[in-house]
Structure 1
Amino acid sequence: MNRKTLVLPAVVGLLAPVLAACGGSDSGSSGGDAIVVGTTDTFTQLKTRPAPLDPAYAYDVGTWNVLRQTVQTLMAYPKGDGAPQPDAAQSCGFTDSGNERYACTLRKDLKFSDGTPVTADDVKFSMERALTIKDPEGVFALLSTIDTIETKGDRQVIFHLKTADATFPFKLSTPVAGILNPKDYEKDKLREGFSIDASGPYTLKAEVKDKSMVKAVFTKNPNYKGLLDVKNDKVELESFPSADAMGEALSKGDIDVMARAMTPDQIDKLSAKTNGDINLVEMPGLEIRYLGFNTEADSVKNKAVRQAMAQVINRGQLVSEVYGTQAEPLYSMVAATVTGHSNAFLNKYGDPSVSKAKTRLTEAGITTPVKLTMHYTTDHYGAATKKEFEVLQKQLNASGLFDVSIKGYRWQEDDYKTKEQKGQFDVYGMGWFPDFPDADNYISPFLDKDNTLNTPYVSNKIRNQLLPQSRREADRLSAAKDLTEIQDIVAEDVPLLPLWQGKQYIAARDDITGSEWAINSSSTLQLWELGRGVKG
C-alpha cells in the first residue's frame, strides 16, 4: 500500500492519502486522450438560477469544482493542502501590523485565455462586481471585509479592509475572488448560461442538454501563468444520475476517475479489494454535516426543543449505521482537525439521554411529543442521505418526545437551497465543504451578517465582538479563546446542530497518475494533477 503525506498548517495532524488496490506509474503524461472524470453533481440552469457558473453567484462544491479549473485567483493552494500561495499574483502580503491593508503584485505578462492582458483593474472589477451584485446565495460575504480596492499601474492591487482580517489571504483563493474578463461580464448583472472566460489552467466547453451541463470539457489553457503545474491536455467532467451509474462506467472503462459522491457500499467494496485495475484513494476530510433550524418557526422557536434534539441524537449510532468507518461523530460546527475546534456539544450535553431531554422540555413548558418535519436533499450529498435522516427520525421518535416526519427534495430541480433561505423549512439537513481550512469558515458563513443560510438567528456577541476579535489574530492558535466561546454559544442556543465529519475518496483506473492529489481535504477537485501513465 502506497502512502503519501500532506501537511495542512491550519489543521492539527497529518493528512495522509491512502491508495488501495493496484498502483499505477508515478510518471504522468500531458498528451493522449482526454481523462474522463465522473461526478454525481448536477449543473442546471433554472429560471430562479439562470447563472449557475457565475463566480458572483456559485456557492456549492460542485460548481466551485468547475470554477477552480477555469478561474484564476490571486492566491491558490499548492499540491495537496497548505497555506495559500501566489497564483495570479507574483507576491501578496499585509503591509501593516493590524492586518487591515493587503497588497498584491500581479505576475508579468498575465493573460486571459483569449490572449487579452490581465491588469490590476480587472482584479478590482471582478471583486467589486461580486460585492455590487450581492447575490442572495451569499458568496459575496467572503469579500465583505473589503472597504475599498486601490490599483497602482497595471500590476498592483491594494485592498483596504474595514476591519482586521487575518483570513483574507485564504478568501483570495476562493472562486468569488476569481479574475474575470470585463468584456465578457457585466458589472451589475450575472452572466447566464455555462460560459466562463478567465485566466485559469483550463478553458471550458460545456455540453448542454435540456438546460443541464452533462459534460464539462476542460482544455489546457496555453496562456496560463501561475502556481499550478498542469499535467494533462484535456479533462472531461461527466455528470451521472446516480453513484451506481458512475461506478458501472468506471468498471467498464468508460470513465477513468470516479469523484464525488460514491456510496458507502461502493467505498467498502473498493477498500476490500487487494488487486484489480482500480485504485481507491482515501484521505481525512474537512466536510461536515449538520442540521439547521429556522429559529422563528413555531415548532423549534423555543431553544429547549433544539436543545432536546441535541440531547437525544446519538451521533455514534448514526455514523455506525450509515457511514461506518467513512465518517466520525462531530460535536462542533468546526471540523475536529481544524485549529480552534472544541467539543462544545459533547461538553454541554454529554452522552445521549432521553431523561435529560425530557427535563429540558418539561422545564420549558413544552408539550410532548413535539411534532416537526426534517427536510433533506436527496441527491446533493450522496445517496446515503435518505438513510441518515431515517436513522435520525427513528432516534427522535423512539424517545417519545418527538413526532418527526422527513421529506426529501432534489437540490437543483426542487430548489432546495432557495426554499431553506426563504424559511420554508423548520429543520433542514445541510453539508459544508469549507471555502478554506480555518475555523472562521465554519462559523461566519452561517452566523455572520449576510450569511449563506439567511438564518433569523442572531448572536450580537458573535457578530460584533467574537468574530472580529478572532480575525485580528494572524496566529490562529491565539484566536482559540474567542473561537471556543463562539462554539459554546452555538451549543447553548443550537441554531445549528453538528452531526458528523467525513473522509474524502476518489477512485481511478490504474493507468491514471496523480489521483492521490486530485482531490484535497475540502473536496476540491485538482484536475490538473491527473496524468495518464502505464497500467499496473
Structure 2
Amino acid sequence: MNRKTWVLPVTVGILAPVLAGCGGSDSGDGGGKPIVVGTTDTYEKNADAPAPLDPAYAYDASLWNVLRQTVQSLVRVPKGGGEPEPDAAKSCKFEGTGGLVYTCQMRDGLQFPDGTAITSKDVEYSIQRSLDIESDSGVVGLLAGIKSMETPNDKTITFRLSSADATLPYKLATPAAGIVERKLYAPKKLRNGFVLDGSGPYTMKAEAKGDAMTKVVFTHNPKYKGSLTVKNDKVELKPYASAQAMGKALVRGDVDVINGKFDPQQVQEFTDDPPEHVQFLEMQGLETHYIIFDTANPATNKPVRQAVSQLIDRGEIASKVYAPTAEPLYSLVPASISGHTNSFFNKYGDPDVAKARNILEKAGVSTPVKFDMYYSEEHYGPANKQEFELIQKQLNSSGLFDVTLKDVASWTKYRADGQKGKYPAYAMAWAPDFPDADNYVAPFLDKDNFLSSPYSNGEIRNTLIPRSRRASDRADATGDLEKIQDLVADDVPVVPMWQGKQYVGARDDITGAEWSLSTSTDLQLWELGRGVSG
C-alpha cells in the first residue's frame, strides 16, 4: 500500500494517556461551522481502479484515511498506539494456546446509518466478500490467513486461522475488515465510484470533477456506537495540488488544518518562523520510502540490484533533499519498530564504486548497465524528483550505470503499471497498516503482496513469516524478522531509502491537532475540535 510521513517536540501524541468513550459529539465547533482539512492526497478512479473506496479494493494510505472515518471494524488501534481495543466489538480474545482461534463479542445496539441492525453475520459477510473478490490491489493479503468464520449467534464471531497469527487483531483493525451493509455491497462485485457507507463515526459524501474527488464531507453519524468520542459535527477534507498551495490556504485561514506531503523547505520555514495564529507540529513517523525492483526483468537482475545497493548514498539524499524531515533507512523495517536491524548497512557499508564494480564483474554483467527508473512527482511532491535525480547522479557518475528517469503524472496509472511489472525500478512509499514489523515484511514479500512482485523466497514465505507470527510476545519474533531483513539485503527486491517524520499544521483555535494523525499516518478527524483563538 502506498500506504502512507509524520513526533511532537515533546511527543504528546505518544505519551499522553488514551481517552476512550462511546460515540457522541463533544464538538465545540463554533455553531456548526465545519472544520476544513487540507491535504495533498489525491483521490482518483479510472478503468484500472473503478472502485477506489470499496473496502475490498482500497489499499492506499490516502484512500484508507477516507475509509477510516466512515467504515467501522471490530477493533481499532488506540490513538496513542498500542494493542487494538474493541470498537464494534465489546471484547475480543484468542482462545486456547495455539493462536489459531480468535473470538469477538459485539456491542449491543449497533446500526448502520439507515437504522439496519448490525450482527455478527454482517461482519462475516464483509470479510468473506473481501476474500471472495480477491482484488488485485493486494489488500486481501491482510485477511488471507482466515481459514473460516463461525457466527453461533448474532453477537459472536469466531475466526479460525490456517496458521497462528498474533497480528490478526491489527489486521482486523484495518479498513480491509470494515463492516459493510450487504444491500449496498454485492457479495462478489466491487462497488464502483466515489461512494462509501458504513457504521463508523461519520457518514461521507464526495464531490468530484471528472475522475477525481475535489472535496469529501464527513458528517457526524448519530448511530455510531464504539470506542471513539467524536469532537466535531462536520469535517471537510479538501485536496490541494501542491504543499505550497495548501500551506498558503492555512495561513490565509481558508483551511483549519493541513497534513500530507510537505516540502522540506516549507517544513523549515514553518518551524523556524511559524505564521501568526498557526501551530505547526512535528510528529513521529513510520512512513518509509524505497526503490522497488522488478526482479523478473533481466536488466535489473540480482547482481545489478546489489551493485545499486552498494552505490546508493542515503545520507546525501536525506541531508540534501529531505532535511530536516527524513533519516536514512537501511532495512525494510524502520528503526523505531521492534525487530529492526540495519541489514543493508551491515552488508554493503558505505557507498563504494570499487565494490559495486566487483559485484558486476564477478557476475559477468557488461557496463554501463542501462535501465529506466520511474517516480511520481505528482504524488510524492517536488522533492521526489530531486531525490531521483540525485540517485541517477550517484549511479551514473560511477560509470557502471546509464539510468534514465521517467516521471508518471497520474498516480493511479503509476500504481497500476508498477503492479503489472511495467517498470524495471520505481519509487514507492509505505505507511503501515499497523505498527508491527510484520507489516513491513509480509506486504512486500508474502503471497498476494501489494506490489504484485515476482520475487519469491521460499524460506521467507514458508518458514520465517509464519514462525514470526506465532510469537504473541513480539520481541520473541526478533530473530526471524532479522533473518528476513538479511535475506532481503542479499536478494534486493527493494532498496530501503529513508524514513520520514510527519507534520500537522493547524490554526490556533483548533484543538486535538496533535492527535489528528497517528504514527502510522492514520487520519483521525474525530479528534479535531474548535476552541478559542489565542
Classify the TM-score, shorter chain: over 0.9
- Partner of residue 527, structure 2: 529
Pairwise CA distance, 1:39: 1.0
Question: Pairwise mapping of residues 281-430 of structure 1 onto structure 2 (< 5 A)?
Answer: 281-301=281-301, 303-412=302-411, 415-430=413-428
State the distance in 2 between where 1:410 and 1:275 align: 32
- Partner of residue 502, structure 1: 500
State the distance in 2 between where 1:455 and 1:15 align: 40
Shifted more, 150-159 versus 268-277: the winner is 268-277
Q: Unpaired runs of 5+ in structure 2?
A: 1-7, 18-25
State the distance in 1 between where 2:113 and 2:11 align: 34
- Partner of residue 119, structure 2: 119
State the distance in 2 between where 1:331 and 1:359 align: 21
The question of 1:227 aligning with 2:227 is answered: yes
Pairwise CA distance, 1:2: 7.5
**Structure 2 counterpart of 1:338, one-letter code:** I
2:166 partner SS: coil
Shifted more, 140-149 versus 240-249: the winner is 240-249
Question: Pairwise mapping of residues 444-455 of structure 1 onto structure 2 (< 5 A)?
Answer: 444-455=442-453
- Partner of residue 41, structure 1: 41
1:470 partner SS: helix
Find 2:470's aligned residue among 465, 469, 472: 472
State the distance in 2 between where 1:29 and 1:475 align: 41
- Partner of residue 179, structure 1: 179
CA contact under 8 A between 1:243 and 1:383: conserved in structure 2? no
Query: Residue 297 and residue 15 in structure 1: after superposition, are their counterparts in 2 closer, same or farther (change >3 A)?
Result: farther
Deviations 1:487-521 (A, max 9, x none): 00000110111000000111011111100000011
State the distance in 2 between where 1:121 and 1:491 align: 44
State the distance in 2 between where 1:334 and 1:79 align: 22
**Structure 1 counterpart of 2:356, one-letter code:** A
TM-score, structure 1 as length reference? 0.94
- Partner of residue 204, structure 1: 204
State the distance in 2 between where 1:79 and 1:64 align: 16
- Partner of residue 253, structure 1: 253
**Structure 1 counterpart of 2:452, one-letter code:** N
Deviations 1:144-199 (A, max 9, x none): 00000110211100000000000000001000100001111001000011111110
1:62 partner SS: helix
Identity of paired residues, percent?
53
Pairwise CA distance, 1:3: 3.2
State the distance in 2 between where 1:144 and 1:214 align: 34
Deviations 1:314-368 (A, max 9, x none): 0000111111121000000001100000000011111111111111111111111
CA contact under 8 A between 2:13 and 2:515: conserved in structure 1? no
State the distance in 2 between where 1:317 and 1:278 align: 32
Find 2:458's aligned residue among 460, 463, 467: 460
Pairwise CA distance, 1:79: 2.4
Query: Residue 387 and residue 2 in structure 1: after superposition, are their counterparts in 2 closer, same or farther (change >3 A)?
Result: closer
- Partner of residue 5, structure 2: none
State the distance in 2 between where 1:33 and 1:80 align: 27
TM-score, structure 2 as length reference? 0.95
Deviations 1:446-491 (A, max 9, x none): 1101111111111000000000000000111000000010000000
Pairwise CA distance, 1:6: 4.0
State the distance in 1 between where 2:382 and 2:186 align: 38
The question of 1:3 aligning with 2:10 is answered: yes
State the distance in 2 between where 1:420 and 1:15 align: 40
Pairwise CA distance, 1:80: 2.5
Pairwise CA distance, 1:276: 1.8
2:285 partner SS: strand
CA contact under 8 A between 1:28 and 1:513: conserved in structure 2? no
**Structure 2 counterpart of 1:40, one-letter code:** T
Pairwise CA distance, 1:47: 1.8
Pairwise CA distance, 1:234: 0.2
State the distance in 1 between where 2:27 and 2:263 align: 28
State the distance in 2 between where 1:393 and 1:464 align: 36
State the distance in 2 between where 1:383 and 1:291 align: 17
State the distance in 1 between where 2:391 and 2:211 align: 35
After TM superposition, the runs of 4+ consecutive aligned structure 1 residues lying more than 4 A away are: none
**Structure 2 counterpart of 1:482, one-letter code:** D
Query: Residue 15 and residue 342 in structure 1: after superposition, are their counterparts in 2 closer, same or farther (change >3 A)?
Result: farther
Aligned residues: 518
The question of 1:87 aligning with 2:87 is answered: yes
**Structure 1 counterpart of 2:182, one-letter code:** P
2:296 partner SS: coil
- Partner of residue 485, structure 1: 483
CA contact under 8 A between 1:15 and 1:283: conserved in structure 2? no
State the distance in 1 between where 2:27 and 2:50 align: 38
State the distance in 2 between where 1:361 and 1:218 align: 54
Pairwise CA distance, 1:410: 2.6
Q: Unpaired runs of 5+ in structure 1?
A: 8-13, 17-26
Question: Pairwise mapping of residues 230-241 of structure 1 onto structure 2 (< 5 A)?
Answer: 230-241=230-241
Deviations 1:186-240 (A, max 9, x none): 0100001111111000000111111321000000000111011110000000111
